[in-house]
Amino acid sequence: MASNGPDSHFPPLSSDVIQAGIRGGIWERLLFFDSVDSTNQRGLALPASDLPDQGAVLIAESQTSGRGRRGRNWISTPYRNIYLSAIFSSAALPDDATLLSLLAAVSGAWALRITTGLEVRVKWPNDLMVNNRKIGGILSELRFGSGRPGRAVIGIGINVNSEAGDFPEELREVATSVRVETGDMGSREGIIIEVLKQLEAWHGRLMAEGGTPVLKEWKRLSSTLGKKVRVALADEVVSGIAEAIDEGGMLIVRPRSGESRRISAGDVTELR
């Protein structure tokens, strides 16, 4: 049975390699942890005085209470995968901070495409998918300061070296990893460096050009648009064609009868 500690198969991350790979950009502070409750939680709790002007990054080898969307748990097997939170400080926030989630999905998809060759697509709102299985997820959280967003914490989890058996039974059909898809061990450092470079590049475009380029790229990478979908909301299920996303990233679903619905949060099943 595989151990869950660092070993020659699953070495710890090299912080030096990651630091060297991203030197000079907006990521002015990198914090590494062996184990935390949740990198997002730590990112939200970090005192403002510890945040640099633009951005900071928290990376953990494992999380004891990794958070997923909609209050779910994010399984965080030690030393196998990527658990990262990128913090955009208040000076680096765009007018519409909700676009940062779409930006993170585009960045994660491109980082994986570049480093692994996998054809990663984005399922609304921001699941990273390969062959209809989830390889990564994004959880964005805002912390407010005097009534307006003071920072955005963009949590990114990517399954890199988990084997099929590492996923609990109920996730085996729907989750995957770089290793499961390619048969090879993925370089966690290489993927992290590319994620941070992509985040920086897309963030630069968002600040300079507004949301249009990010939205356009999200649509190009989307597996959802144009499909028949079922969307589970908190208290109902909406079925129809996923027609579009609006400029704030909401999904517009056209049911067979009745008016189109604009959806801000839900779980999408893509039907065809």
Q: Least CB distance from residue 93 to ligand BTN, whole Å?
A: 19
Binding mask 227-246 toward ligand BTN (x if CB under 6 A, else -) reads --------------------
CB 83 → ligand BTN: shortest distance, Å? Answer: 4
CA distance 21 to 16: 8
CA distance 15 to 189: 8
Q: Does 84 bind ligand BTN (CB under 6 A)?
A: yes
Smallest distance, Å, CB 255 to ligand BTN? 25
Among 55, 78, 155, 240, binds ligand BTN (CB under 6 A): 155
Q: Which of residues 48-67 bind ligand BTN (CB under 6 A)?
A: 63, 66-67
* Spatial CB neighbours of 241, under 8 Å, sequence gap ≥ 6: 226, 227, 228, 229, 253, 254
- Residue 69 binds to ligand BTN (criterion: CB under 6 A): yes
118 contacts: CB under 8 Å, gap ≥ 6: 112, 130, 135, 178, 181, 182
Asked if 139 interacts with ligand BTN (CB under 6 A), we say: yes
Shortest distance, CB of residue 212 to ligand BTN, whole angstroms?
A: 25
Tell me, residue by residue from 2 to 31, as one string, x for binding to ligand BTN by CB under 6 A and - for no binding: ------------------------------
Short-list 112, 91, 110, CA closest to 102: 110
Q: Where are the beta strands (DSSP E) in the chain?
A: 27-36, 55-63, 82-89, 121-123, 127-130, 133-145, 148-158, 228-232, 237-245, 251-254, 261-263, 267-270
Positions that interact with ligand BTN (CB under 6 A): 38-40, 63, 66-69, 72, 74, 83-85, 127, 137-139, 155-157
